[in-house]
Structure formats: structure tokens, C-alpha cells
């Protein structure tokens, strides 16, 4: 299958391949394979989208969004660090890496009661999805057994469950699925050619292998990346190409703006231009029309006006609560006020078929 060589035009339906193409958005491939394939989006096509006049890009993204999603619907998800610090990876953005002096102390896995109380509080505040993060490179089977207890407790509250635990083996993914896990988060972070500038303790293929194991187990995929790690514009296009050409693309796509934590190698990175961040959101929406595109880390530094532009560009999910793992996040009252001002509803609604 040949990848696109030009960007789509800015009509509402132009995010889809031309009629007769082997890949159609409404007849997506089997979920059994998550390795990248030569599909609808080349890096060049995505770069051309990123370079479009801002208003044209926003119009195209909003048109695609309205075609696939109900107006005003924003998913509220809460992220809790259930096992903090001490990670042996050296991801340049992460304050939980053991080799960086960031003031984050290693802690043990939280108890079922502690996690259940946190999940209930998140549900009471309006969240519908509860994500649990643990700072492991790759969990051991005994860790998976403990996580399964936490997943069961959160499912018992009637919430969707998500976990981000590091690299998984196929049998571990299957165990999580049997425990009731709905989503697994495993971000690609950046483009393949820039990845080793960010982390050297694992390979890009390791990430793809975990995504394949998750998809094969029947768990929905949550996978995105981080903007502002010193990458060039072509690397942003490369990240989106990797995500959009997963077979199928992720159900959830978190887009993070780097939180520059003192003590991490990327602490002195140049801040992202806010409109460039909005462009990435818009192109994620165009290329992955049925995904939940989530505003994730870095929302505090964006401010209300830029977040509003992101929602206009097609973002329809946020991490909700005053902390994301170990970094700050807008508090619930601030988010509730912003959504009310914009006429958006913090409820979970299914994708339109």
C-alpha cells in the first residue's frame, strides 16, 4: 500500500483516503495488528498539514471533529501515581527516573483501599476514566497480580480503567485484560529518529512490541507523545505519522506539552509556541478522527485561551484533577469553570458510528 504524498484538502471529508483506497475510515483494519504500516499518512503529508494557514487548519480539524463526535462532549479522566519514583529508565523528561535528582522519592505500590478512595473521589468529581500509573520499566508477574486487584476495585465503582506500567509481555497484557482493564497507556513519545535523543534505556521497537501485546489481548490503546523536547517540526510530523498509521490508530491519543522539571535533562528546553501546540492537536484530530485526543501534561502553562483553541481543534478529553503523577495540573474547580464558559460538557459519550 502506498502512503499519501500530498496533504488532504481542507474539506470536512478530506481526512479520509480517496474513494477506492484500500484503507477507509469507516472500514478500519482488524485490531489484531498494531505494527505501523504504509497507510493513509506519510510524514510529508502530515508536515504539509502542520504548515497550513492556521485558520484553514482549524476549520478542517473542526469539520472532521464534528463529523465524528457530538458537539461539546469532553471526557474527564483522572490519573493517579500508584507506584511513584525509582524507575530505572532514563527518559529525559521524567522526574521519576532514579538517576535524576528531582526530589521525587521512591514509594511502594499503593494499597487497594488507598486507590479505591482516590477513584471514588475522582468519580464524585465527575471523572469517568481512572488511570493508574506505576514507575516500572517492565512489571514482574507479581506486580501484575497486585495491579489486577486495583483494576478490579476501580471497575467495581463503575469506572473505565486504564493503566500505564511500562513494557508488557503478551501473557501480562492478557492477565490485565482478564482483570477488567479497558485501556493501556504506552506513549511513543516522539518520532523514531529522535527517540534516542530522549531515552537510551530502551528501543522504539520495544514500545511497538508492547502496543502489539496490548492490542492482541483485546485492550484498547492509549498512545500519544510529548511536544517541546527539543524536537524539530519534522519530528512532530513523524510522531503523528507513527500514531495515525498504527493498525488501527489508538482509541485515545494524549498530547503532552513538556513540563520542564528541574533535575531532568530536558529542564532547559525551549517552551513550545502555543499555536504550534494547537496545530499538533488539530493534525492529530484530522489524521485520527475517531480517537479521543486528550490534553494531558502541561495544561497549566497553556492557559484558558490556548486550551479553548485546542478544544476547537478537536481535543475532546482532559486529565482531570490537581496532579498528573508527580506534576501539577489545573484543579477541578478551574476546569469546571473553563468548560462551563466554553459551553462544553464533561461527560463521556460514545463515538458516532
Q: Which residues belong to the active site?
A: 87, 91, 94, 131, 162, 222, 294
CA 194 and chain centroid, separation: 18
Judge if the upstream peptide bond of residue 256 is cis by omega within 30 degrees of 0. no
| Among the listed residues 20, 42, 31, the one whose alpha carbon sits nearest the alpha carbon of residue 287 | 42
What's 289's DSSP letter?
Answer: T
- 37's enclosing H/E stretch is none
A 10 A CB-CB count for 98 gives 14
Separation CA 32–CA 118 (nearest Å): 34
Q: Residues near 187 by Cβ (< 8 Å), separated by ≥ 6?
A: 207, 223, 224, 225, 226, 254, 256
Nearest by Cα to 195 from 166, 229, 221: 229
Amino acid at each position: 500500500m502506498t502512503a499519501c504524498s500530498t496533504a488532504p484538502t481542507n474539506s470536512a471529508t478530506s481526512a479520509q483516503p480517496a474513494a477506492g483506497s484500500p484503507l477507509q475510515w469507516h472500514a478500519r483494519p482488524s485490531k489484531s495488528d498494531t505494527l505501523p504500516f504504509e497507510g493513509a499518512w506519510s510524514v510529508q503529508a502530515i508536515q504539509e498539514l502542520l504548515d497550513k494557514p492556521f485558520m484553514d487548519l482549524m476549520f478542517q480539524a473542526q469539520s472532521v471533529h464534528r463529523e465524528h463526535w457530538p458537539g461539546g462532549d469532553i471526557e474527564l479522566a483522572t490519573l493517579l501515581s500508584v507506584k511513584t519514583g525509582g524507575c530505572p529508565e532514563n527518559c529525559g523528561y521524567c522526574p521519576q527516573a532514579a538517576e535524576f535528582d528531582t526530589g521525587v522519592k521512591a514509594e511502594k505500590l499503593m494499597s487497594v483501599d488507598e486507590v479505591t478512595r482516590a477513584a471514588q473521589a475522582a468519580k464524585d468529581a465527575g471523572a469517568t476514566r481512572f488511570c493508574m500509573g506505576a514507575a516500572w520499566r517492565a512489571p514482574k508477574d507479581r506486580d501484575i497480580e497486585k495491579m489486577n486487584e486495583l483494576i478490579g476495585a476501580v471497575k467495581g465503582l463503575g469506572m473505565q480503567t486504564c493503566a500505564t506500567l511500562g513494557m508488557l509481555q503478551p501473557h501480562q497484557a492478557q492477565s490485565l485484560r482478564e482483570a477488567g482493564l479497558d485501556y493501556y497507556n504506552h506513549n511513543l513519545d516522539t518520532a523514531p529518529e529522535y527517540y534516542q535523543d530522549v531515552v537510551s534505556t530502551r528501543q522504539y521497537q520495544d514500545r511497538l512490541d508492547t502496543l502489539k501485546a496490548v492490542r492482541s489481548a483485546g485492550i484498547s490503546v492509549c498512545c500519544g507523545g510529548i511536544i517541546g523536547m527539543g524536537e524539530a517540526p519534522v519530528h512532530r510530523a513523524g510522531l503523528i505519522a507513527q500514531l495515525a498509521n498504527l493498525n488501527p490508530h489508538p482509541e485515545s491519543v494524549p498530547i503532552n506539552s513538556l513540563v520542564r522539571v528541574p533535575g531532568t535533562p530536558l529542564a532547559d528546553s525551549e517552551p513550545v509556541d502555543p499555536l504550534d501546540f494547537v496545530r499538533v492537536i488539530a493534525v492529530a484530530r484530522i489524521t485520527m478522527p475517531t480517537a479521543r485526543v486528550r490534553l494531558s501534561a502541561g495544561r497549566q502553562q497553556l492557559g484558558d485561551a490556548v486550551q479553548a483553541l485546542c478544544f476547537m481543534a478537536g481535543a475532546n478529553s482532559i486529565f482531570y484533577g490537581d496532579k498528573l503523577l508527580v506534576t501539577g495540573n489545573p484543579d477541578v474547580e478551574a476546569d469546571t469553570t473553563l468548560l462551563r464558559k466554553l459551553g462544553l460538557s464533561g461527560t463521556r459519550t460514545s463515538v458516532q458510528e
